[in-house]
Amino acid sequence: SQAPRLPVPDSVLCMFRDQEEAETVVDDSSKHGGRLRTFPHERGNWATHVYVPYEAQEDFLDLLQLLLLRARASVPSLTAMAEFHISLSQGVILRHHWISPVVQSLKEHLASFPRFTCRADRVTIYTNDPKSRTFIGLEVTSGHSQLLELVSEVDRVMEEFSLPSFYKNPSFHLSLAWCVGNLSEELESCLQELQEIVNRFEDSSYLVRIPGAEVRCKSGKKIFSFPLR
């Protein structure tokens, strides 16, 4: 006699139902400061990102204003970042029911990672993959090896859920400001002056030290924190 068919678990049925119900939302770039999403927003999809946060103090914001003053002479449309961090993952899409297991896995992989300090003091110009945005950033000049080890832990979690791992040979950096379009040539032309502003700024060596004391994962509007040991 034929074995009875086991019922399909609700979680699996919901997964397919979510896919059928997902509807593409028209992307309104005015809602995120003129930036374009590089993936469509769909109901039930959560944009997710893992990073080391940097809490900017007043002196750092003063330095940023000086940099923007000079850079905007070349590119007037530059906008300061609202928050500062060093990315440890690409932006990935999670289904809602994946958030808890991904967060739990990150917690397990990062629990025994020791705290460290890194330094970001080299002004660098970046563009995103589709070259639809240009960024001014401070590139990490020490603490690179610890960040690489952190990325390898985060990558293990991503691979566990068949999500894309981080870029090979990454340039770790703190993004300071951005603009729409590929304006890297215009910004490269004042790069040396921007670097001199950082070098000459009082206490800049202290300002550009980033404490690697915690890792955060932002999924939609939820933020999960993983303190390092």
Indicate which residues carry an active-site annotation: 85, 173
Q: Which two tokens stand for residue 87?
A: 């990315």
d(C-alpha 137, C-alpha 151), whole Å: 19
b/e map of 212-228 (b: 16 or more CB within 10 Å)? beebbbbbeeeebebeb
Q: DSSP secondary structure string, 68-109?
A: HHHHHHH-TT-EE-SSEEEESS--EEEEGGGHHHHHHHHHHH
d(C-alpha 210, C-alpha 138), whole Å: 11
d(C-alpha 78, C-alpha 80), whole Å: 7
Place of tokens 């690489």: 148
